[in-house]
A and B are shown apart, each in its own frame.
Chain A
């Protein structure tokens, strides 16, 4: 087991396409690190550079204190689970799992006991003599895991291992991976585009956009202190609401009315004019169900609820609003970056299940302004960031840099 250090890693393809740009990530020994981002953000490329299937253009890859830039994959002693599992179809499940051991020249008795151990962990024992073609998706996934855990690898690398499974199985396997990693205590790098997997599995999460590292922090830090609009929009489901906000002293004018913000927050955004306010759905509430003690911590406004989705323990209410063109443009761009569809601008509110707000009602909504974030519309930077609780932010302008890289990528894409 070993720590993995990535130092200023750059990957530029032959046609000039900059896939990964100056990314530095330290994965501690035994840590579960997640690389997350929308498609095309370079996360898989980064993983393939760790394992040695992709050359590193510049920068250093250090595994267990040893620089491995020029080592072949087989000399790095890492185990990888591929997105499509990459099982050997001509071999039985037993031989698939035994493959790394056979290559290492292990004696038959050792192979036998290790494979049976791994199969036991993954509940594959009754399938050992079958071929991968006769297995279900979940079983194939487990065989791929078996091949990884059967040997003493320095680290596990996962490339979107659950994306081919259905929703129920994905949840089960997610827990299984987390449990196994904790038990084996092995350094793990896990690539995913699914923010739920990122939040639930990772000790720390690295958010990437267009090959540029945006923020590297624990899931909680990412959720509560996103460093820019991109991270804020990517982490959390349903996503954070973005609203145009005009600052005037300690009062902020939102589309539904004016709310008050704490003085220290107001100090940081003084004289900025038009900003984007980011508020998570759960920081709104039906004013009628809020206790008086909390009521004073926030502000209350009135708005007409368009649609209500009641789920029993909670309800989601949707309130549409009009955004000025400057903000609208940034929000549309953000939607695109997050692989989403550009839809109407609306606020999603997470209401208590006891709330009686119905569709078409004008409701009194309470908003916890202390938990509000304010973003600069031009750079996307979080102006109210609590830097001590935000993990590592490589550059406050990371989002702008990613957009520049994005333009370079588009150019490289069109010239070839």
Chain B
């Protein structure tokens, strides 16, 4: 019976893996194909004649490199700010009793549920008036705003898990409130902080609607927006190989970040703090 279920589970896993990874493999395969091959009527799955030509072209394309720089800069700054603000806000929400706490939390949730598209028009007008159009802050501010609610919710859940006694013990041991927060609470909430940071970074990295609407040149356009300008000379024959290559290049940092932070997101870091 047991081996039967194991076989079933194995087959299930294999099916799901194929389903999820097939598109990824297809894109990677495309990125190694030459233009002749992608232009053919029915190209085969694996490249007939693998070439690095697409990568060479993409990595020397000045526009793409500028977009990559913008993406990194904007995503990192938005993530950093969002995490700092969210940590402070979530700590206050988890620890303090104050009027309007529920209001803050429900407002945060409401913002998270608000459709981004409906804000594009107003933001476009506002940003033009405030000279934020086509600038880094013009994207950093909305990215931060849209990711803060989720970060606050994630982090306040983490803070609530940390026994309050730890902070009190630190205070009795001679710490100021700030020292107790920095030396005891923040290290313990690190998994939460990293989770929030990753989620924020993904959002900012992948975001398209605002990126295409609030930018006009490569001085602030991010990669997802820049990709839509990869049309090539023939409108009926887009450069599939190059698009696939660009996709692979922008996916790599995400994979690296997840692998790096995965070690940090270990559950049960607080085990041993209290009896149990």
A residues apposed to B, CB below 8 Å: 51-53, 72-74, 77-80, 82, 84-90, 99-100, 103-104, 131-135, 137, 140, 147, 151, 164
B273 CB–A CB distance under 8 Å: yes
Residues of chain B within 8 A of A53, CB atoms compared: 168, 171-172
- Cβ B171 vs Cβ A90 within 8 A: no
Give Cα A104 to B170, complex, Å. Answer: 12
User: When chains A and B are docked, how far (Å) is the Cα of A85 from the Cα of B273?
Assistant: 7
CA of A150 to CA of B265 in the docked complex: distance in angstroms? 33
Q: Is B272 in contact with A78, judged by CB distance below 8 angstroms?
A: no
A interface secondary structure, majority: loop
B175 (CB) vs chain A CBs: closest residue: A103
CB-CB under 8 A from A79, the residues of chain B are 172-173
Task: Assess the B173–A100 pair: CB atoms within 8 A.
Answer: yes
B residues within 8 Å of A by Cβ? Answer: 163, 165-166, 168-176, 179, 184, 187-188, 269-276
B276: chain A residues at CB < 8 Å are 84
Select from chain B the residue with minimum beta-carbon distance to A163.
Answer: B275
Closest residue of chain A to B276, judged by CB? Answer: A84
Instruction: Contact check, B273 vs A72: say whether CB atoms are below 8 A apart.
Output: no
Known: A100-B174, A131-B272. A89 touches B169 (CB 8 A): no
Main secondary structure of the interface of B (DSSP, over half): loop
- Closest A residue to B275 by CB, please name it: A164
Say yes or no: A104 contacts B174, CB within 8 Å: yes
Give min CB distance, A4 to chain B, whole Å.
Answer: 15
Are B273 and A73 in contact, with the CB atoms below 8 A? no
B128 to chain A, nearest CB (A): 48
A74 partner residues in chain B, CB cutoff 8 A: 171-176
Sample of 19 more A-B contacts, CB < 8 Å, known A87-B273, A103-B173:
A73-B168, A73-B171, A74-B171, A78-B172, A79-B173, A80-B169, A80-B172, A82-B165, A84-B163, A84-B276, A86-B274, A88-B170, A89-B271, A89-B272, A90-B187, A90-B269, A100-B174, A103-B175, A151-B174
Q: State in angstroms the CA–CA spacing of A132 and B273 once bound together.
A: 7
Contacts of A99 in B (CB 8 A): 170, 173
Write 24 A-B pairs (CB below 8 A) sorted by A numbering: A51-B172, A72-B176, A73-B172, A74-B171, A74-B174, A74-B175, A74-B176, A82-B168, A84-B163, A84-B275, A85-B274, A85-B275, A86-B165, A87-B273, A88-B166, A89-B269, A89-B270, A90-B269, A103-B173, A131-B272, A133-B271, A137-B275, A140-B272, A140-B275
Bound-complex Cα distance A90 to B264 (A): 13
Query: Complex formed: what's the CA distance from A73 to B187 in Å?
Result: 22
**Contact B273 A88, beta carbon cutoff 8 Å:** yes
B166 touching A86, Cβ below 8 Å:
yes
Shortest B43–chain A CB gap in Å is 53
Q: How far is the CB of B141 from chain A (nearest CB, A)?
A: 34
Complex Cα distance, B270 from A151, in Å, reads: 25
A97 nearest CB across to chain B (Å) = 10
Q: With A and B bound together, what is the CA distance between A312 and B174 in angstroms? A: 52
**Which chain B residues lie closer than 8 Å to A52 at the CB level?**
171-172
Q: Tell me the minimal C-beta distance from B223 to chain A in angstroms.
A: 37
| Chain A CB within 10 A, most for which of B171, B176, B269 | B171
**Contact partner, B184, options A84, A85, A88, A137, Cβ 8 Å:** A88
In the bound complex, CA of A140 to CA of B271 (Å): 12
Closest B-chain residue to A164, C-beta based?
B275
Chain B residue at smallest Cβ distance from A54: B168
B-side contacts of A85, CB under 8 Å? 273-275
A132 nearest in chain B by CB position:
B272
Residues of B within 8 A of A100 (CB): 173-174
- Please name all residues of chain A whose beta carbon is closer than 8 Å to the beta carbon of B274 when the two chains form the complex: 84-87
Give, as a whole number of angstroms, the nearest-CB distance from B51 to chain A.
Answer: 50
